Amino acid sequence: MLTYDSTPQEHAMFMTAILLSQQYNMTVNGKQFAYRLEHSNGRDVIETLYRTCMAITENKIIGIVGPAYSSEARLLARLCNRAGFPVIGYSTTDPELSDRNAYQTFYRTIPSDIITAQALLKLFQKYDWNSTNIIYQDDNYGEGGLQAIKKAFTDEIKISQKIKYDLSTDHIDDLRSQLEESPSRIVIVWADENVTTKIIQLALEAGDILAPSFLWIFTALHSKMQLKDKQLIGMLLIRPVTPQIFNVSTNTTLLKDAIDIWKNYDNQSYPGDETKIDGYALYAFDSAWLLILGFQEFCQRNSNNCLSLVNTKHCFTTRLTNRDKLHQILKNISFLGVSGYVQFLENATDRLTRSGSHFIIDNLQPSKSNTNELYAEEVLKLNGSTSNLTRDSTTQWISTLNPIRWPAYSGAKQNHYASLKGSELRVKSFGGRGQTILLWLTSIYLVSLLTSSMTTYFIEKQKKPWIQSIEDLKMCGKLSCDRIGVVERSQHEEYVMQHLMNGNQMDYHRLKHQRECYAKLLNYHIDVAIADSSSAEYFTQTKQYCQLEVVGFPFGKTDFGIAVPKLWRYKQDLDNHIMKLKEEGEIDRLCSSESRRAHLSNNFNETIAHAIYSISVQDLKLFNEHAIEQNGVSTLHASGGISRVS
């Protein structure tokens, strides 16, 4: 078997499982079980993959216990899907690893983060806390924990700040300011033991974000960490524990034999009392014992072809024969281990916990023997079925005989920190009452004044378009270039390039023709378009484009006309009459009239034809019908404008 470097207790219990199988004379193909230990730290998954490959090709391993980190377990489980090797996780809690379809050869003996998040929900419900901040490490374990918290808390508990710890730099950006700006004074730290130690050090260096200002809840804490700083007083640690803490059935005979071997093999790492054995160590033992029992039963059923490997030259080509039969046994296995009953769910990699989920809350308190040191006191415990560990279940945290020391109290211990309420103001003197009434009236006046001022401000602001003039589009200052529509190879494009972009090539939205800009605005492909003011005024008053508006002052003034024959005999008369129409305001009147009736017709050509006909019949009577038909003239004067979605 292959396992990975871990804590002394986890390592010791794994080894005792192998040695105990030898003592019980449990063999496969007449051979005793052996193991290989590899190092991993959770940071370099490629290095862990390389070491695993070496173990597969050199030692012909057939099963893996570990690794300790979810980020490594996800990769190795994918590799072992190909080879057929079983991978047993004793400390990997990432919820994604529960997917049986994705991780076909993976099993785990520890509850997933979903169960831990639900236990935290019960803690918040117990004290009526309604918000929290979360600090998480930026890897699969941390992000999986964050998602588990969000799934469990839903809308009942608000997550005010989600703060990421960067594993590559061992740093958190603006940790103090992020917490001080948050309305919540509770911090959940979702990180492994080593990262939690570094986060605590960053918090101590930042200052004033631990006790007494904030309550921190850790999901992991290094057992050898020196707890001396008073800013850590009152902090909480939630940890999963094994059933024997709650007097639930475990295999005491197996545990006793394992402890005897442990004492003989490595007495220094033994904690001195079986109740002090780390829960992860018990999970590590049961993980190894699961493989031992599974391999033994498989070989008893298939004595002729038991656990043989093919294509062993490289780890990626190695295959375990009869893998399906082996995993059918592991999926259906059931035994009483040192951490309780071991059995797996039908459609998941998670363990079926018959006796429920078991958690302890530790509280950091000053030591009774040395007030300069802190120790972890068990103050709350939870014992409930995983099927009932939801927001509406009756499973609750119950208090132990040890009171909780909350961060905000430096004196006597307090049991009900979360339920304390602030004092009420009671004014008794006549002068105080008068001053209170005056203050109350002043507050009402100030609130009314502020409300009216804000109302006026927002009304005025709402009247003004978000773009005031063509200058707002210079160098794409107020919006992205690709949101500005300009007709290709037009005078508008020339103006934009010279006056707005200063000759620089900008990636604005290129339109094929003028009318395309109105459709693109309505479809939100662009936010602003450059258009002729006359046509823009007309189109924005039609039913089809009434959602658009023209903003800004005219710019880029130009003249448009229709060419007439050289030395045309009516040219002088035409110029005189057009000048007369302009001086008398007839052209402006006709334009205004047509704009008012524009919404009655969606046919642009029909409306323009009516305008030209009005001018020719009413005021240009000197032209005969033939001249008008052959040499009809319309002179239009236009300027650029901006059109946008209102």
Q: What is the pTM of this model?
A: 0.61
- Per-residue model confidence as pLDDT tens digits over 106-162: 999 998 999 999 999 999 999 999 999 999 999 888 999 999 999 999 889 999 999
Length of the chain: 646
The Cα–Cα gap between 112 and 92 comes to: 8
Nearest to 67 by CA among 111, 21, 1: 1
Percentage of the chain beyond pLDDT 70 is 81
> How much is the pLDDT for 379?
94
- Per-residue model confidence as pLDDT tens digits over 626-640: 333 333 333 333 344
pLDDT level of residue 12 (50, 70, 90 thresholds)? very high
The burial of 477, by beta-carbon neighbours within 10 Å (0-12 exposed, 13-18 middle, 19 or more buried), is given as: exposed
Residue 359, CA distances (Å) to 103, 376, 382, 395 in order: 27, 15, 5, 12
> How much is the pLDDT for 227?
67
- Per-residue model confidence as pLDDT tens digits over 163-222: 999 999 999 999 999 999 999 999 999 998 889 999 999 999 998 899 888 999 999 987
- Per-residue model confidence as pLDDT tens digits over 328-386: 999 999 999 999 889 999 899 999 876 667 899 999 998 888 777 888 899 999 987 54
- Per-residue model confidence as pLDDT tens digits over 27-65: 888 889 998 888 787 778 888 899 899 988 888 888 999
The Cα–Cα gap between 189 and 179 comes to: 13
**What does the DSSP 8-state code read for residue 482?**
G
> How much is the pLDDT for 191?
94
> How much is the pLDDT for 626?
35
Nearest to 186 by CA among 211, 216, 213: 216
The Cα–Cα gap between 48 and 60 comes to: 17
Question: Across the chain, what does the average pLDDT equal?
Answer: 81
- Per-residue model confidence as pLDDT tens digits over 269-314: 899 888 888 888 999 999 999 999 999 999 988 877 788 888 888 8
Query: What region, left, alpha or beta, does residue 377 occupy, with left being phi > 0 and alpha being psi -120 to 50 degrees?
Result: beta
The Cα–Cα gap between 179 and 183 comes to: 8
**What does the DSSP 8-state code read for residue 439?**
H
Tokens of 281: 């160590």
Between 99-108, 130-139, 238-247, 248-257, the lowest mean confidence (pLDDT) is in: 238-247
pLDDT of 644 strictly over 50: no
The Cα–Cα gap between 287 and 14 comes to: 8
Q: What is the CA radius of gyration of the chain?
A: 39
- Per-residue model confidence as pLDDT tens digits over 327-344: 999 999 999 999 988 999
Tokens of 416: 């009900």
pLDDT level of residue 416 (50, 70, 90 thresholds)? very low
Residue 159: strand pairing partners: 132
Half-sphere exposure of residue 263, counting CA atoms within 13 Å on the CB side? 9
Residue 451: helix, strand or coil by DSSP?
A: helix
Residues sharing a CB contact under 8 Å with residue 505, sequence separation 6 or more, in sequence order? none
